[in-house]
Each structure stands twice: as C-alpha cells, then as structure tokens.
Amino acid sequence: MELISQHAKAIMEGCKKRACGAGLKFQTETLEYIVTNKDLIDLGPKNMIPTLYDYWVHDVELLKDKGTYELFPYNPYETVINTRPAISFYNDNNPDWLNVAIFYHVLAHIDFFQNNLFYRHTWDEDFTGQALSDKRTIAMLHAEKGRWVDYVIEFTRGIDNLVDYYSLMSEINRPETLKSTKRLDYYFDVFLQTIKKVSLTEYLKELDRYNDTVSQYGTGAESIFFAKVTKSYPEFAAMFEKKKKTERETRRDIIRFVEDHSSFLRKEENKWMTTVMEIVRKTSLYFQPQIRTKIMNEGWASYWHERLFLRDDRIKGNEVGYARVNAKITSLPRVGLNPYALGLRLFSYIEDIADKGRLSFDFQRLANINARETFDTKTGNGLNTLFWIRENMNDFMFINTFVDQDFVNKHKIFVAERRPNMEKGVWEYYIKSRNAEAYRKMLLDSLYHPPSIRVDEEKSQEGVLYLNHRFEGKQLVQEYIPNTMLGIEYLWGAPVKLETTEFVADGQPDAVEGSYYSGAGEKDHEQTYRARRVLYKMEKKELSKMLL
Amino acid sequence: MKTEKDEPSDRPSRGGGTAERPEEGRCACVADHVLLEAPGPADGPRHGFLRSIYATADITHLQSGLPQYSYLHTMGSIQDLLDRDLQREKDGFPRKIRIARLIRPVKGGKDKVVVVPTTIEEKFYHDARIPEQQESNRSGGSGDGQEGEVVGEEPIHREQGAGSNGPGQGEGAQHEIQASLYDLGRILSNKFRLPNLKNKGKKRALKKYTYDLTDLNRGSGQVLDKKATLRRIIETNIVLERVPDVTAIDPSQLLVSPEDHVYRVFSKEKDYESQALVFFMRDYSGSMSGEPTELVVAQHVMIYSWLLYQYEGLVETRFILHDTEAREAPDFYTYHNLSIAGGTRIESAYRMINEIVEARNLDRDYNIYVFQGTDGDDWDSSGEKTIPEMRKTLRYANRIGITIACGQSAEGLTTTFEKYLSGLKAEFPDKLKIDVINGDAQEARLIEGMRHLIALSEGKRTWS
C-alpha cells in the first residue's frame, strides 16, 4: 500500500475544487492509497478497515474470498472508508480520465458520510486510529488469554446486530433543553421528595421559586435555578450524575446489559472480557449507518460522478469509454437489484419532480392525468431538495417516500418472481407486478432490518436473562438460535431465555412437498401455519423449547 | 465504485462474484451458486433469489482482469483453521468450520470448482423464508414486458445439485477439479479423522523403490557399459576425422578419451505398487430419482476425494450405471446426471466390473474398490444371480462399500438387496460394508456413513 502519485493527487485536488463549487461539503483533507487486488481482498473481511481487530472468522472469509476470486476475478476501482481524514483505495492502472470520474464518485461518498445525520456519531472520530488502538488491545489480551479472546469476540459478535443504534442517534440529536428536564424531574420528583423528604410547604416554595425564575429569565432560567440549588444542596450534582450512570438505558442493547449485569463478567478474572465486548459493540455501531444508507450512498455518489464528470472538460475524447464504464455501474439489471442504478434514478427523479414543484399538495391532489403530466411550477428547487434528503434520510425513508407509480412507470421497473417449470427443468423468472406499492414493499423487505430483541427485566428472575423478541412478521432463523444463545449464556454466566414467535404447522400436513415451490398446481397441498409464541431456554449448554 | 463494505454484521451471504452484469446471462445462477454453497440458510442481507443489494460493492461490482495467484498458497492456513476447530470441541463449543464448494458454471458443462472453508456467524436474524409466503423469491427487475411474462430462465438442476451437497457439477474439467478434490480429500481426512491409508510406511506402503543399474553416467560409475562406451568412442573419432571409412574401422587407430567411458550407475526407481482403481456404480433406474441419487452421488464424490488424497492422485476411476443393464459412464458428470426409467438388476453391474477387471488382469496391479449406491431394490429378489457375481468381485476387491439410500416410503424396512446380502456379509465381514441412510440425511451423516464404508477392520492398522 502506498500513496497515490503526485500527478494523481493533483487531479484529486482539482476535483475537490469543482465538487465544492457544485455544492458538496466535506473536509478537504483526504488520503488516497494505491492497493493491489490482493490487498483489497485481504481487507474485504475486515470491512476495508486495515486496522480492524484480528478475528479468525475473517481468515475464513479471506480464504473463501480468495477461492471466489479465483473463479470470478475482478478488478475493483476504488473503495472509501469513513474516517477522519477520509481514506480511499485505488487500483493503479486507471487512466487519468477515469480517475477523474472515480474521484468525483469518492468525493460524493465522503460528502455523504460527513453530512448525513445518521453518521453523526462518526463525525468526530478517526475510526482507523481507534481501531488500531483496539486491535492492539485485543492482540495484547490474545497474548495473555489465548483463544478465549476469540470466544468472547465470537459470542459478542453473535449479538452485535442488536446494538441500540437508534438510542445513540436520539441521544446525540436531542435538543439541550429536553435533556435538562431530566435534571428537573430528578430534583423535584426524586431528590426533594424521597431523598431530602422536605415538607410540602418547602416543596411548594421551591416550585414557586422555579416558576419565578422562568418568568424572569426565560430560557436560561434552569441553570440560574440550579445555581441556587447547588448552594443549598452541594451533594445534588454528584447524586444526579450517579443516578444518570446507574440508570443507563441498557435494556435495548443486550451487549451493554450483559456488561453491566452479568455475574460472570463481574468476577475479577473475567473483567478483561468487557473490554473486548465494548470494542465489538463500538465497531458494530460504527457500521450501522452504512448498512442503512446503502442505496442512498451509492445513488448519491453515482449521481455526482455523472453530473460533475459530464460537465468536466477532461471528458473530451473519452466519452465512449466513460459511457461504457458508467453503463456497467448504473444500468438497471433485467432481473435483480442494483443499488447504484436505483439510487441514481431515484435522486434524478426527485430532482426533476422537485424542480417542477411536484412535491406539493397541489400536485398530489391532481387527478387529471394530462394535468399531472404537464404540471410544472418551475420552482428550481431540485438540487436543494437533494441536499436536504442527503442530510436527513436513510434508505427506508428514501424508498418509502419517493418510490411511487410515476417512478416505477418511468423506468419500467417491476417486481420479478421465479417459479419452477418442471417440464423444461428450469426456473422461470417472470414479471410479478408493475405496481409501485408492490415494488416498494419488495425493496423495503430487502433492506437490512435486525430483529428487535430486548431484555425483559421483570421476567429476568433469579439470575436468568430473559430476552423478548418483538414479532414483526418474520420469525428468527431457527438454525442459528442454539449457538447464539450458547454464546450469550457463556457471557451471562447463567441460564438465558428467549421469547419469540415461530410459525407452527397447523393440523395435518397434506403433502410432503408443502409450500416449498410456488408452482400454481401445488397450492392445494399447502400447509397452513400459525404464529405462536415460544420460549427457548439455554441452560448449561442445553437448549429446550416450549410453546407459550 | 463504492464505500467500504457495508456489512457490519450480516455476513453469511458474502462472497464475491458478479451478480449484476446484465450482458452475461450466467449471472443469476452464478450468484445463487455461490450463495447456496455456503451452508445454512442465507439470511440477513440476502433476500430474494438474487444477491441482495448489500452484496454489491464497488469492489465486486466491476470486474475484469486476471487472477494473480492461487488460493492453494493459503492451504497452510486452512490447516490452522481446522486445528482451531478441533480445539473448539475440546473447549466445549460446537465446531464451526465447514467446507463449501464454489462453482462457476461454464459453457459446455466443464464448470470450475474450488473448495474453500466457510463458516457462519450465527446471530439472531430474521428468516426471510416465511411459510405460506413466497416473498423470499422476489427481487427487482427492469425493462419491457407484461405482468406475468417470463423474462428469463435458469436450469433448476444446477441449484439442486449445488444446494444439496451435490458432487460439484464440474467433473468434466478434469485437471481443475482434480486439484480441488484433492484438497477436499485432505480436509476430509484431517477434519473428520477419516482413517489415513498410509500409516508411516508400515505394512503396505503406497510406493516402493527398486534399485537398479539403469542410469548412465560418463566418466565414472559402477559398471562399464561396453556397448555404449564403444559407440561413444566412435562418435568422438568421427568428429576428430580419424575414421575415413565407416565400413572398415580399425580399432587400433582409435583415440580413447576417459570421458568416453560410459558407466551404469546404481539408482533408485519409483515403482508404484498400489495404485487404486475405484469403481463407482449406482442404480440409475426410475426409483432412484431425486434424493437417493443426490445422497449417493454426494457420498461418492467425498469418497473419491478422500481416495485421491490418500493415493496422492494415483486413483483411477470407472463409473458404472445400471438399470437392468449396465453401462459405463465416461465421467463423473454423466455419472451424476443420467437417469432412466428402467428396472433394476444389480447383477448386471457386478458382471461388468468383473469383465473389466478380468479382461486386463487389473487385479494384479491395482487395489480395487467398489462403491455402490442403490435404493436397495432389485428384481433378482433372492440374489441368485447377483451373489455369484459379487462373490467373484469380492475375491479381488479390497472393499465393496454399499450405500443404500432409502426413499421416504421405504424407511425402516429391510430392502430386498439387504436381505439377500446378509449371508455374503457374514462371509466377508472385512470386505463388504453396508451403510443405510435415510432420505433426509445431512452432510454430517454422509461423512459418518463414509467412515463406516471405509472403516478399518478390527485390529488392522492400515486400510487395505
């Protein structure tokens, strides 16, 4: 791995100027490296973070990727990682004109990382630096504890998709004023009443004083009010801090909950494990926004490399070459999903309708198809709308809001399904629906969505960890439950229960083949299922299951 | 072009490959193959029959160029991983590493196959396979066409083969598959503790060396090769123009240089003593279609791999298919795929094997193994014709391993074939092994069965 040449760097700097001129916003310092295909494959299992901690599953992935590479050799163009400063990797065999297009793509990714609010918690971090420190910590522990470090990583990773990402988001983006009411609540509801046990008159007097302060000083009232409180109760601040700490909202984040409450981890000889768990948890949180903005991120980058490069004089003479490359990246497949193509088309579509003022109630209530086709209030608001979306939305919101029938019709996209044709011995792919709602549903179903599993503290009696899965129409993958629970039991040091919903066969099965194939002729045999709550229990590495 | 990989936690379906290259019709099946070969249900980012949007990244999205190295270079680390897996068991946790085969379909059926280790990070994931609903079979698409119109096709067979521990459809490309089957055999031997044929040179060595005076050396050596030396002297003298007339040579006029002395030297010769000849035979009649065939073939490919490893590549294979008559299949691919709606006469296949062996006296030079796959059905219900043929085979064969894969209907019952074999089995307990598997057997069960089929006899330390 080495830095790109000065020549290429100069091109990059030129691209940055033009990109900023076009409205993209990003930290201007970036690092670019040349890597070989082999380097990139090596980095693959580590999510492209060269400094990510070592874990044997990554090695297995690596061997698999190498096997895959042997069958399907490929030549990656670049990859970007979200860190400060942003780092990107390139092949060294790209011609200059292609580098220009690629740099625009990369810069748009960086712009997305650094402006989309779902990445807020990564903005102030040099993640590769942090990861390096974590990697060293793990290497050090490995030298001391051996393979047990791997087990802790493995078992923690078993629940690292249940990290409480949205609470983190809500914490970060919560207005200051809302945060401080917690202090007020604590002061009036807990501190005065149950700790100081003040008399009713004193309580009311304090309440009056607060109201007076508010009417006198307005928004700044609270801090003025508490200045006096600190004088009369010097211990208040410390007690409030302590309270905040112990009340850390952890029920939604199983890793955290286990760290805080596990009897096994509390033992002196096991304390090091929480360090490892915290590293895994932090790493997982770091990647959460990326998997939730895949379509937007790729669409955004594709939109900008196209927009900027087409207006760039360096395209001259390379129009055909660029068209080929671009078509490869952004063509809609006949069957299948391409996030680049879909995101690009959605952004372009939104720009168009926003320009014409169609993101308005006036347009939405129009029923006349001709009037809809010609509707144009020439707001010229398209680009601003895109910047707003880039800042505030994730994939779910993006698709749910903007995939409509006009969009589906415009790009002739459809929901594809397959069915077996036994006579010909083939799977047939056919057009299932061109309905926007069906298409939207298909897209939303394909988005990343980890199950919602929380700790039920009331049912967690006698040292048992009771996990409750909120059923959202899909059961958990049953094959994975035993080993996942085995891992949690190890970290928890006591039995673990999981309440979840499963589809249980109803009545007599008519035929063995059941509903596996969607062939129309077999519908008669279809087995019916009913969703039932079940309780899994893992105790001493033995799993049992009962219907609730 | 793209961001870092976006799969923080959802890795089960990863694997490179080209999913979206519309210009190449193979993409759909490629994707499925790579995915399905990984064990377990693919969940998380995988949704629908194609790769999920999370499986595409700048890194995999665009492809060209050539492979720069072979994954074989990393075999050392596979060994480490397998050791680690064994350690897991000792620590009281289940093993995690499995073997997957990646298959790239290539026109003409000569698919390319590589064997890789694989593992799944188990987590709580939503299961996309909802009973009663077919949504997991959905994906996107674009272009012209009415609703209901078929826009593409893909052979079903491929997926079945790949998804159910099939044999790897690429047997045609002999060299490539050979190399990767060798690895599979090595992994099977090590990981599953299958008996190692070669027991540090005791009893039966695979190769033997003979010492012979076959190599020639000029100038020095053990025995002078007079004829060669004379020829050499004459050549030298012709070059020196001391031989005016080749028809009348005067030996006294010849110059003799020490360099012209040609000696024979003692040398070590490799002599392959025990090469293996393996007959794979299976019933391909109507009753075998579906699961029994898949199971038998899956087990046979593992046995084949194991032998390939044990004999370091010196395995010859013959593939025999039979219904009421036997025929020989040219390669594993045909062996795997052919089916016919005929009856069943097991005797025909054994007769064919006997004919092949006798015609060329193969039993003199080879260790012969016969692995038979059947559903246990035979028209010759008492075995009066089959038993004599089998007895003949047993005379020279090191082992006959029979896999009886019962269909669902026959579970629990003793099959015709099993019934009449019982006498023969008692007679040749060492040579004849039978394994009965159910229709829904998994890979682990197949390996267990295989262990039985190739198991050592009591008290023996090597397998012969």
Q: What is the pLDDT of residues A385-429, one digit of tens each?
A: 999 999 999 999 999 999 999 999 999 999 998 887 777 767 788
Q: Judged by CB atoms within 8 Å, which residues 171-230 of B form the interface with A?
A: none
**Cβ atoms within 10 Å, residue A90:** 23
Please report the pLDDT score of residue B77 as a whole number: 58
Please report the pLDDT score of residue B194 as a whole number: 52
Is there a cis peptide before residue A85, judged by omega within 30 degrees of 0?
yes
Flag whether the pTM goes above 0.90: no
Distance of alpha carbon A226 from alpha carbon A232, whole angstroms: 10
CATH 3.40.50.410 fits B274-453, yes or no: yes
What sign for the dihedral angle of Cα A476, A479, A485, A487? negative
From the list B21, B81, B102, which residue is nearest A68 (CB)?
B102
pLDDT tens for each residue of A117-151: 999 888 888 888 888 899 889 989 988 988 899 89
Residue numbers in B near A484 (CB within 8 A): 122-124
- Check CB contact of B442 with chain A, cutoff 8 Å: no
Phi, psi of A170 (to 5 degrees): -70, -30
Which residues touch A364 (CB under 8 Å, ≥6 apart)? none
Q: For the residues of A482-521, what is the DSSP string, one character each? A: HHHHHHHHHHHSS-EEEEEEEEEEES----SSTTSS--GG
Which residues touch A269 (CB under 8 Å, ≥6 apart)? none
CA A396 to the chain's CA centroid: 11
User: Where do the domains of chain A lie?
Assistant: 2-116+293-324, 130-164+250-290, 172-246, 331-446, 452-547
At B12 the three-state DSSP class reads coil
- Check CB contact of A113 with chain B, cutoff 8 Å: yes
Residue numbers in A near B125 (CB within 8 A): 161, 450-451, 476-477, 480
Q: Judged by CB atoms within 8 Å, which residues 289-348 of B form the interface with A?
A: none
Distance of alpha carbon A285 from alpha carbon A164, whole angstroms: 8
Asked if B127 and A71 come within 8 Å (Cβ–Cβ), the reply is: no
Distance of alpha carbon A400 from alpha carbon B233, whole angstroms: 94
A251 and A457 in contact (C-beta within 8 Å)?
yes
pLDDT tens for each residue of A243-270: 776 665 566 788 988 988 888 998 999 9
From the list A154, A428, A527, which residue is nearest B153 (CB)?
A428
Residue numbers in A near B9 (CB within 8 A): 157, 160-161, 284, 287, 450
Radius of gyration of chain B (CA): 29
pLDDT tens for each residue of A327-348: 888 889 888 888 999 999 999 9
- Check CB contact of A346 with chain B, cutoff 8 Å: no
Q: Judged by CB atoms within 8 Å, which residues 439-458 of A form the interface with B?
A: 439, 442-443, 445-446, 448-451, 453
**Closest approach of chain A CAs to the CA of B157, in angstroms?**
7
Q: Tell me which chain A residue has its CA closest to the CA of residue B135.
A: A442
Instruction: With residue B434 as reference, give the H or E element that holds it.
Output: strand B432-437
Best to test chain B binding among A253, A418, A516 (most B CBs inside 10 Å): A418
Q: For the residues of B391-413, what is the DSSP string, one character each? A: HHHHHH-SEEEEEEE--GGGTTS
Q: No. of H helices and E strands in chain B?
A: 13, 13
Residue numbers in B near A329 (CB within 8 A): 1, 61-62
User: Where do the domains of chain B lie?
Assistant: 1-125+157-193, 209-270, 274-453
Asked if B9 and A417 come within 8 Å (Cβ–Cβ), the reply is: no
Please report the pLDDT score of residue B210 as a whole number: 58
Average pLDDT, stretch A484-496?
Answer: 93
Give burial (CB, 10 Å; 0-12/13-18/19+) of A203.
Answer: middle
Residue numbers in A near B111 (CB within 8 A): none
Q: Tell me which chain B residue has its CA closest to the CA of residue A523.
A: B132
What sign for the dihedral angle of Cα A303, A308, A310, A315? negative
- Check CB contact of B79 with chain A, cutoff 8 Å: no
Asked if B126 and A541 come within 8 Å (Cβ–Cβ), the reply is: no
Asked if A291 and B6 come within 8 Å (Cβ–Cβ), the reply is: yes
Percentage of residues in chain A having pLDDT higher than 70: 90
Q: Tell me which chain B residue has its CA closest to the CA of residue A71.
A: B104
Q: Maximum Cα–Cα distance for chain A, whole Å?
A: 88
ipTM over 0.95: no
Distance of alpha carbon A19 from alpha carbon A7, whole angstroms: 19
- Check CB contact of A80 with chain B, cutoff 8 Å: yes
Best CA proximity match to B47, nearest among A383, A34, A447:
A447
Residue numbers in B near A541 (CB within 8 A): 92
pLDDT-wise least confident of A97-106, A405-414, A506-515, B14-23? B14-23
A253 and A164 in contact (C-beta within 8 Å)?
yes
C-alpha distances in Å from residue A272, one per residue of A7, A266, B339: 48, 10, 60
- Check CB contact of B147 with chain A, cutoff 8 Å: yes
* Each residue's pLDDT expressed in tens, for chain B with a length of 464 residues: 444 433 333 333 333 333 333 333 323 222 222 222 233 333 333 334 445 566 555 544 433 332 333 333 334 456 677 777 778 888 888 877 766 655 555 544 445 556 666 777 888 888 876 655 544 567 888 888 888 888 877 765 443 333 323 222 333 233 344 445 566 666 666 555 555 443 322 233 444 555 667 677 887 877 888 888 888 888 888 888 888 887 888 888 888 888 888 888 877 665 555 567 888 888 877 777 667 777 787 778 777 777 766 666 566 778 888 888 888 877 766 776 676 667 788 888 888 888 888 887 777 777 788 888 888 778 777 778 888 888 888 888 878 888 888 765 555 567 778 778 777 778 877 778 888 877 666 666 777 777 777 765 444 444 44
- Check CB contact of B137 with chain A, cutoff 8 Å: yes
From the list B9, B28, B31, which residue is nearest A161 (CB)?
B9
Which residues touch A106 (CB under 8 Å, ≥6 apart)? A78, A80, A88, A301, B1
Please report the pLDDT score of residue B360 as a whole number: 77
Q: Judged by CB atoms within 8 Å, which residues 22-51 of B form the interface with A?
A: 22, 27-28, 30-31, 34, 40-41, 43-45, 47-51
One-letter amino acid of B269: E
- Check CB contact of B67 with chain A, cutoff 8 Å: yes
Residue numbers in A near B138 (CB within 8 A): 415-417, 432, 442, 445
Write out the two tokens for A273.
């494990």
Distance of alpha carbon B334 from alpha carbon A431, whole angstroms: 35
Residue A300, pLDDT above cutoff 90: yes
Asked if B4 and A290 come within 8 Å (Cβ–Cβ), the reply is: yes
